[in-house]
Amino acid sequence: MKVTHDIKYIGVNDRNIDLFEGQYIVPNGMAYNSYAIIDEKIAIMDSVDAAFGLEWLGNIEKTLGSAKPDYLIVQHMEPDHSASIDIFMKTYPEAVIVSTSKSFVMIKQFFGTEYEDRRIIVDEGDTLDLGKHSLTFVTAPMVHWPEVMVTYDKTDKVLFSADAFGKFGAWDTDEDWACEARRYYFGIVGKYGIQAKKLLDKAAGLDIEIICPLHGPVLSENLGYYIGLYNTWTTYGVESEGTVIAYTSVYGNTRKAAEMLKEKLLEKGCKKVALNDLARCDMAEAVEDAFRYGKLILATTTYNSDVFPFMREFINELHERGYKNRKIGLVENGSWAPTAANVMKKKLADFKNIELAETVVTIKSALTDENIAQLDKLAEEMK
């Protein structure tokens, strides 16, 4: 695939994978992107997962013909992008690796060598001339590993963005970009919103016409849309009006309360209500919803004087990713000693800029008329 006249796509699609990073469901597979910049000197941008190393080398040979790459630019050392470095260096013994000093530490950890005689260490603002193309390197520590950098080609106005602007799914999958990019961002990068925003601020000073991420499609149209979403995500802002209800239920009574609450919210004019059964839904989807919308209701049974395990996991997932700037309502259920609301309040005390709804719904076994009235009051607060 041609990105520009001189930049070619040489990545691979993984349609065999079921769980990315051993935890994220990827029904449409995963792309491991790599690019070739063909000039007087030839630069390859990142490698691919070990299972596709030979396919990737085949793509390089098919794209370059008899020419040989001069540089392998390593932006990120996570193995889905770096595992084929060694086979590349053995295949092209004259090639030189270009990366940050922290990357070479990790290269030695993975491959037992830092390629001391075949490397160029770069830092913020350093450049590499290929001929017509001049590359500028921009450090992006903790987006989402400490060694990360991105690369700007000022000739074709292309930003090679590492994992930023990536998404789940093969690069040629026909699906909504925002949904899987959001799930990817908050699942993998979301903890590092401050660092990701710093990278965006750096990128704002560049004249960018094309974004080439390490996962998902090349972005060449409506860049304002994608950058706007990233600005919202990296600042923990509210993307869409609406309320999320995340619940756990053992015998169905808390589920009934959650479903009734959804209907009441819609009746009161709430634009969108996302209902997530935490025991059955994709947890990453529930986390994505929580960050997308401005209000969240947690409804759970009391379990061993705590909350139900899936709710505990969900709250921990939010906390790990820096969830903040939201309003949260609480619903608890307990047949003899309902304590879930107090447990959740204690867990939420560590979150930043969280407003708790005044109404707390306490169910003892099954819904009563009093509970229904409480749900109505909570819906009024959270609509």
- Tell which CATH architecture fits domain 7-234: 4-Layer Sandwich (3.60)
Residue 37: the pLDDT is 98
Predicted confidence (pLDDT) at residue 171 exceeds the cutoff of 90 = no
Q: Tell me if 191 sits within 8 A of 322, measured CB to CB.
A: yes
Structural domain spans, the chain: 7-234, 240-382
pLDDT tens, 298-339? Answer: 999 999 999 999 999 999 999 999 999 999 999 999 999 999
Q: Tell me if 73 sits within 8 A of 96, measured CB to CB.
A: no
pLDDT tens, 115-155? Answer: 999 999 999 999 999 999 999 999 999 999 999 999 999 99
Residue 135: the pLDDT is 98
CA–CA separation, 364 vs 383, rounded Å? 25
Specify the pairing of strand 149-153 against strand 158-160: antiparallel
Residue 245: the pLDDT is 98
The DSSP secondary structure of 32-70, one letter per residue, reads: E--EEEESSSEEEE----GGGHHHHHHHHHHHHTT---S
Q: Tell me the mean pLDDT in the region 71-93.
A: 97
- Average pLDDT over the chain reads 96
pLDDT tens, 32-55? Answer: 999 999 999 999 999 999 999 999
Tokens of 317: 């997932």
- Taking CA atoms, 305 is separated from 182, 308, 319, 341, in Å, by 34, 9, 21, 11
Q: Which residues of 322-335 are buried (b: 16+ CB within 10 A; e: fewer)?
A: bbebbebbbbbbbe
Q: How does residue 80 score in pLDDT terms, banded at 50, 70 and 90?
A: very high
Picking from 361, 356, 373, the residue whose alpha carbon sits closest to that of residue 301 is 361
Q: Tell me if 64 sits within 8 A of 38, measured CB to CB.
A: yes
Q: Tell me the mean pLDDT in the region 90-98.
A: 98
pLDDT tens, 276-285? Answer: 999 999 999 9
Identify the CATH homologous superfamily for domain 240-382. Flavodoxin domain (3.40.50.360)
Residue 169: DSSP 8-state: B
∠ CA 282-216-25 to the nearest 5 degrees? 20
pLDDT tens, 185-203? Answer: 999 999 999 999 999 999 9
Residue 1: the pLDDT is 85
- Coil, strand or helix at 332: strand
Predicted confidence (pLDDT) at residue 211 exceeds the cutoff of 90 = yes
Q: Tell me the mean pLDDT in the region 214-236.
A: 96
Q: Tell me if 88 sits within 8 A of 95, measured CB to CB.
A: yes
CA–CA separation, 125 vs 26, rounded Å? 36
Residue 32: the pLDDT is 98
Place of tokens 């053992």: 250
Sign of CA dihedral 19, 22, 24, 30: negative
Residue 172: the pLDDT is 84
Picking from 345, 342, 364, 341, the residue whose alpha carbon sits closest to that of residue 354 is 345
User: Cα Rg for the chain, rounded, in angstroms?
Assistant: 24
Count of CB atoms situated within 10 Å of the CB of 364? 15
pLDDT tens, 1-24? Answer: 899 999 999 999 999 999 999 999
Q: What is the pTM of this model?
A: 0.93
Q: Tell me the mean pLDDT in the region 155-181.
A: 95
Q: Tell me the mean pLDDT in the region 371-375.
A: 97
